[in-house]
Structure 1
């Protein structure tokens, strides 16, 4: 079986925004407590943050991390997480039926972000709260001093403002599960008023308004249209969320979910254009895909915990999906989609970063390790920066529930002009056949392969564990070659590959 790809230097999609490789941390399960923060851990720093986790995050070069939620933010009082720890209240979190000690708040999170080399993307509570609390939080975080909230920040130990530019206006407000759930008109008006107030403080902020929680919501895509009609002139991004599951153990159909993702993005991009035209606006609004990942492995266990937790436990093990090799392919497909849609998707956040549906797992007092999905995320984040190429791909395909023709070979290409490289990320969705793939490199001149990484496994359900951390890991590829301006590479069945070409 064969496939062909044309990569032309002059046919491009967009400069990729580095923030498409962002992540998310919520006060949920063990993401914060026993995830990034464990003061008794052997690797903990002076602030109680785990050094082993910080290293794994630094290696990913995560450009931005969204915080503190998620569903959690819709009933969160940010003031609970500032000031002396001994004075902070323990609060009940209605979203996940747990309690939170508030030992970690914006100060601790900001310090951790500095440690791992990332930026903060903060969310305000538009569920149980509103405009006033949002502007107070903004003042606390970003004002230099001489006002009530900025002086309180200084009193609490931080003299300089953090100057956070990215702010989410609530979370998943279309969801009936959300504290303070609103319909599109209610939320649109509140979000517009909040955005106006925040822009009165600083017109240069980047504001993200809530889109649909997923493309199966009954209000989708009218939600996007109505909310944007209220907010278009005041926001920069609309958020989308999507999680991916193989509930019927049908791998071909599971991997076809990438086509559903692509349609979701295409539909919302068209809705943005519609509202822009209706508003006669010259502004552009983009997509922030600030929650995405595979999520289904832990569902049964989570229901048992939440239904029978006997109270309000602090940081129980929730949403702890153990990822397998099959999920490597799915995550690779998702990232390829974001690269190909980089003209409209400018921010994306894998949900989440540690322990909770995450590429990194930890044991309390023990090791931290990379889950299987860590690797495609790593390769895309490190090597997927530059300009996305408009590839012409010709591949045999198959039919799924999500598309009539799903190509077996899925590929994205990135031209990094700064370091003079072409970087290709390829997935073979065929269950049993290798596919000989040729990539015609047009307009790039001569090239040499400088790296070739392959991920395959005989067992789709193979996982990494604390004791066997390298069961599913990349290995050096063999056989890729360039001749007469054409890159040739063999894609084994159910495989993920990265090929880097020095020009």
Structure 2
């Protein structure tokens, strides 16, 4: 099978916002407790945070982490997570039918973010609470001092404000599973009032309003239109969520979910334009895709754990998908889509970061390791920063359950002008044929291939485990060359590759 592409220096999409490689941590399962926080672990620092996990996160260079939820935030009292640990209340979390110790709150999370070199993206509770609690939380986090909430922060050990800029106005409020679920108009009015109050404190905040929980919601895409009609000039982003699944074990169909993702983004981008035009606004709203990942491997296990007969356990092993090689391909396709949609998708958060549908796994008291999907996320985060190129790709296609005309060879390209490099991320969706790819580099003074990484495996079900952490990992590629301004590379069946060219 042959495929070709053109990368022209003048044909670009947008500057990629670094925050498109963000992540998410919720008080859910073992994401926080036994994930990032385990005071008795041999690698734990003075704050009880696992050093081995911190190292894996640092290596990813995660620009921003969303916290504390997720469904959890819709009944969360942020005040429970401040002050002396021994005085913090234990609460019942209705979202996940568990108990919450509140041993980790805003102070601990902020310190961890500083340790791993990331920024905070905080969510306020617009389910069971509202404007007052949101403005108080903002004052606690961002005001220098001399007020009730800021002075309480200082009393609790943090003199300087954290100056958090990104704030989520609730979570998945379109979902009937959400504590405090609202219809679009009801939520839109509350979100607008909350945004107005928060902007009275600081006009420079970046505010994110809830979009649809997924593209199959009965209210989609009217939800986006109605909510934005209430909030458009008061917010900067609308959030989208999507999870990717393959319980039928049909790889070709599974991989066409990237087409469904692209259509989802395109539809909401059009809705944003419609509302902007209707309001005659000069303001721009972008997409924050703040929950995305493959999620289906743990579903049956989770049904048993969430059955309601196990009491209210603290930090049970929920949503612990063990990712395989097939998931590498899907995650590569998702990240390629975000790069190609970088004109409208400015923030994205893989959900989640540790243990809960996550690229990083841990054992209590034991090791932490990279799951298979860690690697495409790593390559995109480290090398996918710069300007997205508008590639012209000519590839054979196929039709699948979630989208038609899916290119067998899926490619995204990034021009890092500062680093004088071109980086291409390539996925071969064909299960039996090699793809010989020729990529014409127009307008670039091309040099040679400086890095070539390949991920492939004879077993799509292959996983990384605590005892065998390197079963699925990248290897150095061979045969990628640049001759006469053309990059040539061969992609094995069902493979993911990254090729970097010095220019």
Structures share fold, TM-score greater than 0.5 = yes
Q: Which runs of 5+ in 1 are unaligned?
A: none
After superposition, residues 55-94 of structure 1 pair within 5 angstroms as: 55-94=55-94
* Alignment deviations for residues 434-474 of structure 1 (CA, whole Å, 9 cap, x no partner): 01000000000122100000000000000000000000000
Q: d(CA) in 2 for partners of 1:253 and 1:445? A: 39
Tell me the equivalent position of 1:451.
451
After superposition, residues 166-315 of structure 1 pair within 5 angstroms as: 166-307=166-307, 309-315=309-315
* Alignment deviations for residues 274-328 of structure 1 (CA, whole Å, 9 cap, x no partner): 0000000001000000000000000000001111542100000000000000000
Tell me the equivalent position of 2:364.
364
Q: d(CA) in 1 for partners of 2:169 and 2:333? A: 29
2:421 maps to 1:421: yes
Q: d(CA) in 1 for partners of 2:481 and 2:450? A: 11
* Alignment deviations for residues 236-289 of structure 1 (CA, whole Å, 9 cap, x no partner): 000000000002111000000000000000000000000000000001000000
Tell me the equivalent position of 1:440.
440
Tell me the equivalent position of 1:17.
17
What SS does the corresponding residue of 1:203 show, helix, strand or coil?
Answer: coil
Choose 160-169 or 307-316, whichever is displaced more: 307-316
Q: d(CA) in 2 for partners of 1:265 and 1:246? A: 21
- Contact 2:423 / 2:501 at 8 angstroms: preserved in 1? yes
The CA deviation at 1:369 is 0.1
- Measured on the aligned residues, the alpha-carbon RMSD in Å equals 0.5
Tell me the equivalent position of 1:95.
95
Tell me the equivalent position of 2:402.
402
Q: d(CA) in 1 for partners of 2:383 and 2:310? A: 47
Which structure 1 residue ranges, 4+ long, deviate > 3 Å from structure 2?
none
Q: d(CA) in 2 for partners of 1:452 and 1:498? A: 6
Q: d(CA) in 1 for partners of 2:307 and 2:172? A: 23
* Alignment deviations for residues 216-237 of structure 1 (CA, whole Å, 9 cap, x no partner): 0000000000000000000000
Q: d(CA) in 1 for partners of 2:485 and 2:188? A: 52
Q: d(CA) in 1 for partners of 2:288 and 2:310? A: 37
Q: Which runs of 5+ in 2 are unaligned?
A: none
The CA deviation at 1:401 is 1.6
Choose 440-449 or 350-359, whichever is displaced more: 440-449
TM-score by length of 2: 1.00
Choose 105-114 or 401-410, whichever is displaced more: 401-410
* Alignment deviations for residues 59-104 of structure 1 (CA, whole Å, 9 cap, x no partner): 0000000000000000000000000000000000000000000000
- Contact 2:259 / 2:404 at 8 angstroms: preserved in 1? no
Tell me the equivalent position of 1:331.
331
Q: d(CA) in 2 for partners of 1:15 and 1:426? A: 20
